[in-house]
């Protein structure tokens, strides 16, 4: 049971001690693979023999095993992409050996504390490990040491520690209520769930509000979400992948655990209303800020807030179908969003700009990357065959079935607006003529590209078509295949020239090389598509995890 925690810790030690950078580079994907394998082993044990307890403070049941699989899968995607990301960064002169070593150690520690969080048998240990994720990842967000990165790291630490401090207050109050309900009750999940009906409702209500707000902060739910777009856009790409794919899901896992206790202590309505408000606020915020978004990394950040809003809606509905869909959505979103962030990091290395209008005709310059990125965006807005389609339909169906039609309709409208904006922005990046591609120098600053003399606006005909095709339900392939072949043919010739111009010191090969990161994206896309069609053995685990949250099978 301690393997998922121990493996990243060992990897961290190895990263610290091993001299050869080639071996160290291979460690990141290996550690991801190890966590995934350990998670699958645990999942097999749990589905067969039921929950396991270990070393007093650790406990694994179907829900935590499922979350461990999410952690393993996303860290594998991020790990596969890491070596080529780091190599390109050092080729571009953005980071040196020592910085990369520190980075690698911190990433492994980050994985270890997240694994600890989902394995914790105790609300206190869960809190400590989620707080530790902030401590570890703060330096990862500020890794680049630019003004923007340091500012993002400061905001991230202050806002998420404040949120998580509120959660600590909630834990103390819940402990207070538990002690008065039952003398033996402590912060254990099991004893909290069994003694929940005897908890003093008034105290529990305050505690639940604080806990959901606090852990919701870390998940990126409104109202304390404002750190998220900054941190996601400034962190190195593999770290953004981990933060959006796993960290938010781990925090959301804490919300689900709280919900179980709150539902049996206070009835369903209290948490439902709280979560609905947070969900709609997050969706509204994401939709409104997505519309005029100019920065593609921030765009992905707001898309994460939107997806967290959807998860909160699913949790608010709370029927077995909704919870199963929420859990499926966690895995699908983790896979897709991490691959999108890796793609965004790649695009940034290629163009030196994080502005949407700083990227033009990507499909011509780098068809594989553009294809994977485009497919990823289609997956994230819920196109079949990807699993996010199934989970979003599941949440919507459950919402109407539970008599929450008005809320679900409002949420779906907001999701639709966000999706449309996402597609329009992405098509402006991917399509267009390569000849106008920016030859900007790698500066690492978004601001520097702002004043560059204007590019012709993106071919609006194309992007317009793209969005309407999507909205009217046409097949996704028409959007991409309609435009890519021609631009690919006309674009490949100049692609080399652009890449060379984009990089200062003749290190063009590093940027041009279609690295393992594209393979990681493709792998994640395939995994998500397969998951959308056939859940396989994950289905059993999902079912058992749903029983833990709702008490009923889907």
Partner 1 sequence: MNAGASAQVLNIAAGAFLFTAVLILWRRELASIIDIFALQGVALAVMVAVIAVDEGSVELFVVAVGVLVVRSGVLPWLLRRALSHAGATRRETRPLVNVVASLLAAAALTLLAYAVSQPLVALDPSPAAHAIPVGMAVVLIGFFVLVTRRLALSQLVGFLLMDNGITAVGFLSTAGVSLIVELGVTLDVLLMVLVLQVLKTRIREAFGDTDLGELRGLHD
The only residue of 179, 368, 393, 441 in contact with partner 1, by rule CB under 8 A = 179
Q: Rounded to an integer, what distance in angstroms lies between the CA atom of residue 427 and that of residue 313?
A: 29
Which residues in 487-526 contact partner 1 (CB under 8 A)?
none
C-beta of 360: minimal distance to partner 1 in Å?
22
Q: Which is nearer to partner 1, 271 or 408 (CB)?
A: 271
* Region from 168-176, 373-381, 503-511, 543-551 binding partner 1, contact rule CB under 8 A: 168-176
Instruction: Give dist(CA 291, CA 281) in Å, integer.
Output: 16
Q: Judged by CB, which is closer to partner 1: 124, or 539?
A: 124
| CB under 8 A, 24+ apart: contacts of 523-527 | 523/77, 523/80, 524/73, 524/77, 524/335, 524/336, 524/338, 524/339, 524/376, 525/335, 525/336, 525/339, 525/372, 525/375, 525/376, 525/379, 525/386, 527/73, 527/335
Binding part of the chain for partner 1, among 157-165, 370-378, 406-414, 502-510 by CB under 8 A, reads 157-165
Among 85, 110, 127, 296, binds partner 1 (CB under 8 A): 127
- Per-residue x/- marks for partner 1, 419-458, CB under 8 A? ----------------------------x-----------
54 three-class SS = strand
Using CB under 8 A, which of 7, 28, 42, 153 touches partner 1?
153
Report the distance separating Cα 311 and Cα 401, nearest Å.
17
Stretch near partner 1 under the rule CB under 8 A, chosen from 46-54, 156-164, 468-476, 484-492? 156-164
Q: Does residue number 392 form part of the binding site for partner 1 (CB under 8 A)?
A: no
Binding of partner 1 at residue 128 (CB under 8 A)?
yes
Listed in sequence order, the residues at least 6 apart from 82 whose beta carbon sits closer than 8 Å to its beta carbon are 25, 28, 29, 104, 107, 238
* Interface residue with partner 1, options 77, 92, 114, 173 (CB under 8 A): 173
Distance CA 434, CA 343 (A): 19
The 3-class secondary structure across 516-528, one letter per residue, is: HHHHHHHHHHHHH
Cα–Cα distance, 210 to 163 (Å, whole number) = 9
- Which token pair is 112? 């270890």
Residues 6+ apart with CB under 8 A from 454: none
> Tell me, what DSSP letter sits at residue 52?
E
- Told to check if 96 binds partner 1 by CB under 8 A, we report no
For the chain, what's the residue count?
554
Is residue 60 classed as helix, strand or coil in its secondary structure? strand
- Count of residues interacting with partner 1 (CB under 8 A): 53
Residues 6+ apart with CB under 8 A from 81: 237, 238, 241, 342, 345, 515, 516, 517, 520, 521
**Counting contacts by CB under 8 A, is residue 31 touching partner 1?**
no
Contact flags string 257-296 toward partner 1, x per CB under 8 A:
--------------------------------x---x---
What mask, x for binding partner 1 by CB under 8 A, covers residues 220 to 259? ---------xx--xx-------------------------
Pick the binder of partner 1 from 27, 76, 138, 212 (CB under 8 A). 138
6 scored as a contact of partner 1 (CB under 8 A):
no
124 part of the interface to partner 1, by CB under 8 A: yes
Of 125 and 324, the one with the shorter C-beta distance to partner 1 is: 125
Q: Is the distance from CB of 246 to CB of 75 less than 8 angstroms?
A: yes
Nearer to partner 1, 1 or 231 (CB): 231
CA 234-110-76 angle, 5° bins: 85
Q: Which x/- pattern, by CB under 8 A, does the window 49-68 give for partner 1?
A: --------x-----------
Distance separating alpha carbons of residues 333 and 326, to the nearest angstrom: 10
Please say whether the beta carbons of 109 and 5 come within 8 A. Answer: no
Distance of alpha carbon 332 from its chain centroid, rounded? 10
169 binds partner 1 (CB under 8 A): yes
User: Between 193 and 222, how does the x/- string for binding to partner 1 read (CB under 8 A)?
Assistant: -------x-xx-xx----------------
Query: Which range in 40-48, 146-154, 336-344, 524-532 contacts partner 1 by CB under 8 A?
Result: 146-154
Pick the closest to residue 196 from 125, 120, 259, 273 (CA basis): 259
Cβ-based nearer residue to partner 1, 187 or 419: 187
- CA dihedral (12, 14, 17, 20) positive or negative: negative
Contact 326, 550 (CB under 8 A): no
Q: Does 139 bind partner 1 (CB under 8 A)?
A: yes
Q: Rule CB under 8 A: which residues touch partner 1?
A: 57, 122, 124-125, 127-128, 131-132, 134-135, 138-139, 142, 145-148, 150-155, 157-158, 161-162, 165, 168-169, 171-173, 175-177, 179-180, 186-187, 200, 202-203, 205-206, 229-230, 233-234, 289, 293, 298, 447
């Amino acid at each position: 049971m301690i393997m998922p925690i121990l493996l990243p810790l060992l990897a961290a030690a190895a990263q610290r001690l091993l001299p050869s950078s080639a071996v160290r580079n291979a460690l990141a994907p290996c550690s991801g693979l190890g966590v995934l394998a350990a998670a699958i082993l645990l999942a097999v044990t749990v589905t067969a023999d039921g929950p396991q307890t270990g070393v007093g403070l650790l406990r694994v049941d179907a829900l935590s095993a499922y979350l461990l699989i999410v952690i393993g899968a996303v860290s594998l995607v991020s790990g596969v992409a890491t070596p080529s990301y780091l190599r390109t960064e050092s080729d571009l002169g953005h980071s040196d050996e020592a910085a990369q070593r520190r980075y690698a150690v911190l990433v492994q520690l980050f994985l270890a504390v997240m694994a600890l969080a989902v394995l914790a048998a105790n609300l206190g240990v869960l809190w400590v490990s989620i707080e530790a994720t902030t401590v570890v990842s703060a330096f990862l967000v500020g890794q680049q040491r630019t003004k923007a990165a340091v500012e993002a790291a400061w905001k991230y630490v202050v806002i998420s520690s404040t949120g998580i401090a509120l959660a600590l207050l909630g834990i103390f109050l819940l402990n207070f209520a538990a002690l008065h309900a039952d003398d033996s009750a402590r912060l254990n999940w099991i004893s909290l769930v069994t003694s929940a009906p005897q908890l003093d409702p008034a105290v529990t209500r305050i505690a639940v509000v604080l806990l959901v707000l606090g852990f919701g902060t870390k998940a990126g739910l409104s109202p304390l979400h404002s750190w998220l777009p900054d941190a996601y856009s400034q962190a190195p790409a593999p770290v953004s992948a981990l933060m959006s794919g796993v960290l938010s899901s781990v925090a959301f896992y804490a919300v689900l655990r709280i919900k179980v206790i709150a539902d049996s202590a206070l009835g369903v309505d209290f948490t439902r209303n709280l979560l609905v408000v947070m969900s709609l606020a997050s969706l509204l915020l994401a939709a409104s800020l997505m519309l005029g978004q100019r920065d593609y990394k921030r765009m992905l950040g707001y898309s994460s807030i939107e997806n967290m809003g959807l998860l909160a809606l699913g949790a608010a509905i709370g029927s077995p179908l909704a919870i199963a869909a929420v859990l499926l959505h966690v895995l699908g979103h983790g896979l897709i969003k991490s691959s999108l962030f890796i793609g965004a990091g790649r695009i940034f290395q290629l163009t030196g700009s994080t502005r949407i209008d700083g990227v033009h005709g990507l499909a011509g310059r780098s068809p594989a990357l553009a294809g994977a990125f485009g497919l990823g965006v289609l997956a994230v807005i819920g196109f079949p065959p990807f699993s996010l389609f199934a989970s979003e339909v599941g949440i919507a169906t459950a919402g109407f079935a539970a008599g929450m039609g008005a809320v679900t309709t409002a949420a779906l409208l907001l999701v639709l607006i966000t999706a449309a904006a996402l597609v329009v922005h992405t098509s402006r990046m991917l399509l267009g003529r390569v000849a106008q591609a920016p030859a900007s120098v790698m500066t690492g600053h978004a601001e520097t590209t702002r004043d560059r003399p204007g590019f012709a606006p993106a071919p609006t005909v194309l992007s317009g078509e793209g969005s309407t095709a999507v909205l009217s339900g046409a097949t996704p392939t028409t959007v991409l295949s309609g435009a890519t072949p021609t631009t690919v043919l006309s674009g490949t010739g100049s692609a080399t020239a652009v890449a060379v111009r984009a990089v200062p010191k003749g290190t063009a090969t590093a940027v041009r090389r279609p690295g393992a990161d594209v393979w990681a994206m493709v792998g994640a896309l395939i995994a998500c598509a397969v998951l959308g069609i056939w859940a396989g053995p994950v289905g059993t685990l999902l079912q058992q995890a749903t029983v833990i949250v709702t008490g009923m099978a889907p």
